[in-house]
Chains A and B, each alone.
Chain A
Amino acid sequence: MSGFDETLLGEADETVRVRFVVNGRKVACEVAPRETLVDCLREKLELTGTHAGCEMGACGACLIQLDGRAVHSCLIFAVQADGARIDTIEGLSESGVIADLQAEFHRRNALQCGFCTPGMLVNAEELLSLVAQPSREQIRDALSGNYCRCTGYEAIIDAIYAVAKARSGGVTT
């Protein structure tokens, strides 16, 4: 009944093979169990658009989509994501799903150094997929786990608010 192979205990740092579908492409790589997904994406798969800030769930720079939901890639080991579908900022940019958000961020100077931007965009995309027309208060609330050291947030909230309006057929200003 077990399924548990005790020899595993002696092989703590040995790499294991994991498979994901990253940005629509099947990939396989070798990871040590203690390797976080953000490290795997950045170092093994060279997808450096996902940023590593605090590495403890506090800043939101590392947000990605895991099976379609926004999650912190610093709070999951790559082995846990074996078999999952992962979409990073690179994939979301290429496919064009967030092109309007990116354009609006650009237009309104909703970024300066850009370190927080991938996380902001992943979070904003999830919010807009769940709530068609969020209030500014709801946007603020949804971004409560995303730190930006540069912009003061207002421009980011403006940008998301404008895109929400535009997506639901309203006019933007």
Chain B
Amino acid sequence: MKARAFSYFRAATIDQALDAHARAGDDARFIAGGQSLVPALSLRLQAPRLLIDITHIDELRGVRREGGYLRIGALTRHCEMLTEASIAESAPLLHVAAPFVAHPAIRNRGTIGGSVALADPASEFPAMTLALDAEIEIVGPSGRRRVKADDFFIDLFETALQPGELIAAIHVPLFRADQRFAFDELARRRGDYALVGCGIMATCQGSRIEDIRISFFSVGNTPTRVKGAERALIGARLDVERIAAAQRALECDLAPPEGDEVPPAMRLHLARVLLGRLLGRLGEGA
């Protein structure tokens, strides 16, 4: 199928993009990598009047350290997560998650801003912004603000982003020597969306967990932090009993949807298995 007709505008600055959106009466879409939007247009799931290409806006590009954070420009492509040294050093969780996102050619175009804006509950990066306690920098008609990932994902494909607002960057707290991380997902085939996936960021003192953030994807309507499991681990050493306690806590933390191709009980089981593996790995790093 082919997309419905639309007009195309290539914005050179953020102001131009915001202005064009407003003047199209918000019947417009920003297009970044297009790896989710183009199929949606081709299938006529969406039919905006105007497409605003944001990929030529320099301000949305680049990765740099800034005030204790790594500022990752919205246009940073998935493939750059693999090659950019500052990401591997300062946001290694994104680096290890990247190979699981789609296929190489899609990673060549897809952007982190697009992935976070779309907030697909099966996507890797939105969930990792939660594990990382990242902040989303948003710019719109009413100015600029930073929203914590914890407050950004609201419901299925619904975020704190208002119509006509752009994600300018993702700010990730710089990785520190006392931190450990783990990531993995279970999928039918490599490159497929995960049946269940999880990323963990822990702050440790020796083998004791000082703080931990565990974020799952493909388990519900939004990326999901499992706070009961986190509580079961904070202040403890990662031994077999603790890991089992965290796995048990998932029952309350997660409520996978009914009526899905994967039954809720199976998803919960897979989540427990995955959490056990990841915490095991985290413990081995001690």
By a beta-carbon cutoff of 8 Å, the part of chain A in contact with chain B is 1-4, 6, 8-9, 11-13, 16, 32-34, 36, 39, 55-57, 60, 63, 69-72, 74-77, 79-80, 82, 123, 126-127, 140-142, 144-146
What CA separation (Å) do A2 and B13 show in the bound complex? 9
Please pick, from B4, B13, B50, B189, the residue contacting A9 in the complex, using a CB distance under 8 A: B50
In B67-114, the 8 Å CB interface with A consists of 79, 99, 102-106, 108-109
A26 CB, min distance to chain B CBs, angstroms: 20
What CA separation (Å) do A123 and B106 show in the bound complex? 11
What are the 4 A-B residue pairs with the smallest beta carbon separation, nearest first?
A: A145-B103, A144-B191, A33-B8, A13-B5
Q: Are B5 and A32 in contact (CB under 8 A)?
A: yes
With a cutoff of 8 Å between Cβ atoms, the chain B residues found around residue A56 in the complex are: 39, 42-43
With a cutoff of 8 Å between Cβ atoms, the chain A residues found around residue B99 in the complex are: 141
B157 interface residue (CB < 8 Å to A): no
With a cutoff of 8 Å between Cβ atoms, the chain B residues found around residue A34 in the complex are: 2-6, 41
16 further interface pairs, Cβ-Cβ under 8 Å (given A12-B7, A57-B39, A145-B104): A1-B19, A2-B15, A3-B12, A4-B23, A9-B49, A12-B49, A33-B5, A34-B5, A60-B103, A69-B79, A75-B109, A79-B10, A123-B105, A126-B105, A144-B103, A145-B106
What CA separation (Å) do A56 and B190 show in the bound complex? 18
Given known contacts A1-B15, A60-B103, A80-B55, A55 and B42 CB-to-CB distance under 8 angstroms: yes
Q: Are A70 and B49 in contact (CB under 8 A)?
A: no
With a cutoff of 8 Å between Cβ atoms, the chain A residues found around residue B103 in the complex are: 60, 142, 144-146
Write the chain B residue with the least CB distance to A31: B8
Q: Per-residue CB proximity of B40-57 to A under 8 Å, as 1/0?
A: 011100000111010100
A102 CB, min distance to chain B CBs, angstroms: 20
What CA separation (Å) do A34 and B8 show in the bound complex? 9
B16 interface residue (CB < 8 Å to A): yes
Please pick, from B3, B34, B190, the residue contacting A141 in the complex, using a CB distance under 8 A: B190
Q: Could you name 29 residue pairs across A and B whose Cβ atoms are closer than 8 Å? A: A1-B16, A3-B16, A4-B20, A8-B7, A9-B49, A13-B5, A33-B51, A34-B6, A36-B38, A56-B42, A57-B106, A60-B103, A60-B105, A69-B79, A70-B104, A74-B42, A75-B34, A75-B35, A76-B34, A77-B34, A79-B10, A79-B53, A80-B34, A80-B53, A126-B104, A142-B104, A144-B189, A145-B103, A145-B191
Q: Are B51 and A36 in contact (CB under 8 A)?
A: no
With a cutoff of 8 Å between Cβ atoms, the chain A residues found around residue B189 in the complex are: 144
B11 CB, min distance to chain A CBs, angstroms: 7
With a cutoff of 8 Å between Cβ atoms, the chain A residues found around residue B105 in the complex are: 60, 63, 69-72, 123, 126, 145
With a cutoff of 8 Å between Cβ atoms, the chain A residues found around residue B7 in the complex are: 8-9, 11-12, 33
Q: Are B6 and A80 in contact (CB under 8 A)?
A: no
What CA separation (Å) do A16 and B35 show in the bound complex? 23
With a cutoff of 8 Å between Cβ atoms, the chain A residues found around residue B102 in the complex are: 145
Give the number of chain B interface residues (Cβ < 8 Å): 44
A136 CB, min distance to chain B CBs, angstroms: 13
With a cutoff of 8 Å between Cβ atoms, the chain B residues found around residue A80 in the complex are: 8, 31, 34, 53, 55
With a cutoff of 8 Å between Cβ atoms, the chain B residues found around residue A71 in the complex are: 105, 108-109
With a cutoff of 8 Å between Cβ atoms, the chain A residues found around residue B39 in the complex are: 56-57, 75
Given known contacts A56-B42, A75-B38, A145-B102, A8 and B190 CB-to-CB distance under 8 angstroms: no
With a cutoff of 8 Å between Cβ atoms, the chain A residues found around residue B35 in the complex are: 57, 72, 75
What CA separation (Å) do A3 and B273 show in the bound complex? 54
What CA separation (Å) do A59 and B101 show in the bound complex? 16
B16 CB, min distance to chain A CBs, angstroms: 5
A129 CB, min distance to chain B CBs, angstroms: 11
Q: Are A127 and B34 in contact (CB under 8 A)?
A: no
Q: Are B24 and A70 in contact (CB under 8 A)?
A: no
Q: Are A76 and B109 in contact (CB under 8 A)?
A: yes
Write the chain A residue with the least CB distance to B8: A33
Q: Are B8 and A3 in contact (CB under 8 A)?
A: no
With a cutoff of 8 Å between Cβ atoms, the chain B residues found around residue A74 in the complex are: 38, 42
